């Protein structure tokens, strides 16, 4: 386990922090607290200015839009968000045939499609944990006009969509089944193929949110693993970075040089012993990994 200096930038006390992304144009970091009522966070690291929007819609993932504002994944579909007014409006519903599901993690490909995965609903009306009785999730690609294509099915918990620096490999994790897959990616056609297991270690918790650095290594937040893994393109674990949280949830590179790693975390339903050991759980953390990242792509809509 590698010990690096880790800073808690915002002691947000998020129940289920998720979805962090760096906004290059705005030079700020966005992230979410999924738990009801959801919170949308924005931080300017240069000034420390932190703003929140609260919504009754359960929001689980997001991306910047080329047209301005953001696209959000809500539990029942995709929505557009205007930070200036706080307005949230429906955009697309890729999965209308599975009312017991909700959407989870998502990200844009280099061509501007939003890849979003689903899972069985596991958050109750009062924020309680619900069981996930079956692998009912799927993976969709949604274009700028709202049309969607389903590319995977029978997924336990969809997480960590991201792309290699050359855009030719797509990565996607099933957290419930503790496996991260790699696929061949055809950007022009928006097609994935040749699924294979990249990494299925059971030694470091569950793979959650992920990103890729400029050297082509995958960084994986490890739910219940209290760490972040760096995994090489062949699936070998290269580094294990200790985190001051039992449940790191998502990672992204940010800062002017994309050389800072930001990490969200969860504190929901953790016992007193865990909170005593990691009192800042639910906060937004950062550290300097010694490598640069790749930028997040924007939604073509």
Catalytic status, residue 153: no
DSSP 8-state class, residue 301: -
State the CB neighbour count (10 A cutoff) for residue 52: 11
Q: How many residues does the chain have?
A: 301
Cβ atoms of residues 294 and 15 within 8 Å = no
Query: Which pLDDT band holds residue 278 (cuts at 50, 70, 90)?
Result: very high
> Rounded CA gap, 235 and 98, in Å?
33
Across the range 284-293, mean pLDDT stands at 98
How does DSSP assign 82-147, residue by residue?
A: ETTTTEEEEEE-S--S-TTEEEEEEEE-TTSPEEEEEEE--B-TTS-B----S--EEEEEE-TTS-
**Is residue 79 within 8 Å of 301, Cβ to Cβ?**
no
Average pLDDT over residues 292-296: 95
DSSP lists the bridge partners of residue 78 as 73, 92
Q: Put residue 289 in one of left, alpha, beta given phi > 0 → left and psi -120 to 50 → alpha.
A: alpha
pLDDT exceeds 90 at position 124: no
Quick one: CATH architecture of 7-287?
6 Propeller (2.120)
Phi and psi based region of residue 194 (left: phi greater than 0; alpha: psi -120 to 50; beta: remaining): left
Confidence of residue 162 (pLDDT cuts 50, 70, 90): very high
| pLDDT at position 247 over 90 | yes
Would you state the pLDDT for residue 194? Answer: 98
pLDDT tens, residue by residue, 192-203: 999 999 999 999
pLDDT at 5 > cutoff 90? yes
The 3-class SS string of 193-209 reads EEEEEEECCCCCCEEEE
User: Is the pLDDT at 45 greater than 90, yes or no?
Assistant: yes
Closest to 63 in 3D by CA, of 139, 149, 152, 162:
162
pLDDT of residue 128: 87
Task: Return the percentage of the chain with pLDDT > 90, whole number.
Answer: 96
Can you list the pairs that 142-147 forms with residues at least 24 positions away whose Cβ atoms lie under 8 Å? 142/78, 142/92, 142/94, 142/113, 142/114, 142/115, 142/116, 143/112, 143/113, 143/190, 143/300, 143/301, 144/66, 144/112, 144/113, 144/299, 144/300, 144/301, 145/301, 146/78, 146/91, 146/92, 146/301, 147/92
Q: Is the pLDDT of residue 259 over 90?
A: yes
Q: Provide the token pair at 207.
A: 């793979």
Query: Does residue 159 sit in helix, strand or coil?
Result: strand
Identify the band that residue 157 occupies on the pLDDT scale cut at 50, 70 and 90: very high
Residue 80 vs residues 23, 134, 216, 223: alpha-carbon distances, Å: 16, 30, 31, 28
Active-site choice (208, 232, 259, 271): 208
State residue 36's pLDDT score.
86
Model pLDDT for residues 133-152, shown as the tens digit of each residue: 999 999 999 999 999 999 99
Average per-residue pLDDT for the chain: 97
Q: Examine the pLDDT at 125 and tell me if it is beyond 90.
A: no
């Amino acid at each position: 386990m590698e010990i690096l200096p880790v800073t808690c930038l915002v002691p947000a006390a998020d129940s289920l922090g998720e979805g962090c992304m760096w906004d290059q144009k705005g030079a700020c970091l966005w992230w979410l607290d999924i738990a009801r009522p959801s919170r949308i966070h924005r931080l300017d690291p240069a000034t420390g200015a932190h703003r929140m929007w609260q919504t009754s819609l359960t929001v689980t993932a997001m991306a910047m839009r080329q047209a301005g504002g953001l696209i959000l994944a809500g539990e029942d579909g995709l929505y557009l968000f205007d930070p200036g007014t706080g307005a949230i409006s429906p955009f697309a519903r890729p999965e209308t045939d599975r009312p017991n599901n909700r959407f989870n993690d998502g990200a844009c490909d280099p061509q501007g499609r939003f890849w979003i995965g689903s899972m069985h609903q596991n958050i109750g009306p009062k924020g309680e944990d619900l069981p996930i009785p079956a692998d009912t999730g799927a993976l969709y690609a949604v274009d700028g006009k709202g049309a969607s294509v389903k590319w995977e099915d029978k997924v336990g918990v969809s997480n960590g969509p991201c792309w290699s620096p050359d855009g030719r490999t797509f990565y996607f994790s099933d957290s419930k089944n503790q496996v991260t897959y790699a696929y061949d990616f055809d950007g022009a056609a928006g097609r994935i193929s040749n699924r294979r297991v990249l990494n299925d270690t059971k030694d470091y918790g569950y793979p959650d949110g992920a990103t890729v650095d400029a050297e082509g290594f995958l960084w994986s937040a490890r739910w219940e693993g209290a760490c972040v893994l760096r995994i090489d393109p062949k699936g070998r674990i290269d580094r294990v970075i200790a985190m001051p949280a039992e449940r790191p949830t998502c990672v992204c590179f940010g800062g002017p040089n994309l050389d800072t790693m930001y990490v969200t975390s969860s504190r929901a339903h953790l016992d007193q012993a865990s909170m005593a050991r990691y009192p800042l759980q639910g906060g937004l953390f950062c550290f300097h990994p010694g490598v640069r990242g790749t930028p997040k792509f924007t939604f073509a809509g």
